[in-house]
Amino acid sequence: MTTTTAPNTAPGAAARDGALLAGLDLHKSFGPTAALTGASLDVLPGELIAVLGASGSGKSTLLHCLAGLTRPDAGTVGYRGADLWAMSDAARSALRRTQFGFVFQFGQLVPELTLLENTALPLRLNGQRRRPAEQQAREWLERLDVADLAGKRPGELSGGQGQRAAIARALVTGPSVVFADEPTGALDSLHGERVMALLSAAARDSGAAVVLVTHDLRVAAYADREVVVHDGRTEDRGRLL
Ligand SMILES: Nc1ncnc2c1ncn2[C@@H]1O[C@H](COP(=O)(O)OP(=O)(O)OP(=O)(O)O)[C@@H](O)[C@H]1O
């Protein structure tokens, strides 16, 4: 397995040795609004990074560029040495499906599917047969303490239960990176802490790195490293542990 990063195109911005994912000198504008103006962020295997910053500073845009969801206007995103934004759409979406997991503020579970079907969905989309996919999904629901709700639909769950299922779904494929955008943003502080503890423990156990956008300093306390986005640029606060 190679762990090299994308070519360093940004003067002064270099990825750390062994980085799995490296966004370098990213720029992105939406019409007249400059969302990213030279943001860089790299991720080591298994590392939990909190991305902090004021509202509108560019955190979500940075996460979306790193995750292959939003194309930057300039800069590179390297994943294991391949430039995410130089590959075909099909290759990038296959990479997203197999290497990345996603947890968003409101879970984004499919309302018509049960929790078990929702959790098995990424495996089914990767071509796995129903029975083994659902077996794996059930194991993850057990880990996240919501296996008793496997037959329920998202509308029947509390916000915290839904987020636990969303974490199970994000981790079921064994991704190397989980992208989480305000995963506890819709929860009260008690449930938010519980969900965060489960996400960080589950990611650590499975070796997945986590890139986590949050406003909440208590959530950021779970991170190995904090990166602050300020007017579309990143400032690394370094390793906290
Ligand atoms: N799809 C879009 N179309 C137009 N403008 C956008 C779009 N996405 C983001 N922006 C703008 O880009 C800037 C950065 O937005 P972004 O969502 O990345 O910030 P953020 O730090 O995640 O904010 P918040 O904490 O409020 O979610 C903002 O000014 C926002 O309004």
ipTM of the complex: 0.97
Is the Cβ atom of 70 under 6 angstroms away from ligand 1?
A: no
In angstroms, the CA 53 to CA 158 distance is 28
**pLDDT score for 144:** 87
**pLDDT score for 208:** 93
Token representation of residue 90 = 């099909």
Is 51 contained in some domain? yes
In angstroms, the CA 79 to CA 86 distance is 11
Task: Ligand 1, residue 57: give the atom nearest the CA.
Answer: 21
The stretches in the chain having pLDDT less than 50 are 1-12, 239-241
State in Å: Cα 106 to ligand 1 middle.
17
Is the Cβ atom of 28 under 6 angstroms away from ligand 1?
A: no
| Full strand arrangement of the beta sheet holding 82-83 | 33-43, 21-30, 74-79, 82-83
Is the Cβ atom of 32 under 6 angstroms away from ligand 1?
A: no
Q: Are strands 48-52 and 74-79 parallel, antiparallel or unpaired?
A: unpaired
Is the Cβ atom of 66 under 6 angstroms away from ligand 1?
A: no
Is 146 contained in some domain? yes
**pLDDT score for 13:** 60
**pLDDT score for 194:** 84
Is the Cβ atom of 105 under 6 angstroms away from ligand 1?
A: no
Protein residue closest via CA to atom 30 of ligand 1 = 56
How far, in Å, are 44, 98, 102, 121, 141 from residue 114 at the CA level? 34, 22, 18, 10, 12
**pLDDT score for 12:** 46
- Tell which phi-psi region holds residue 81, choosing left (phi > 0), alpha (psi between -120 and 50) or beta: left
In angstroms, the CA 19 to CA 40 distance is 12
**pLDDT score for 238:** 57
**pLDDT score for 159:** 87
Is 4 contained in some domain? no
State in Å: Cα 114 to ligand 1 middle.
32
Q: What is the pTM of this model?
A: 0.90
How far, in Å, are 131, 139, 223 from residue 106 at the CA level? 27, 22, 21
The structural domain count of the chain equals 1
Helix axes 159-171, 130-143, angle to 10 degrees: 130
Is 14 contained in some domain? no
Query: Which residue segment(s) compose the domain that 37 sits in?
Result: 21-238
User: Using a CB cutoff of 8 Å and minimum separation of 24, what contacts does 142-149 make?
Assistant: 143/168, 143/202, 144/168, 144/198, 144/202, 145/198, 146/115, 149/115
User: Which of 61, 63, 212 to mutate to test ligand 1, by most ligand atoms within 8 A of the CB atom?
Assistant: 61
CA proximity to 212, closest of 174, 170, 172: 170
CA proximity to 78, closest of 25, 144, 142: 25
- CATH number for the domain spanning 186: value is 3.40.50.300
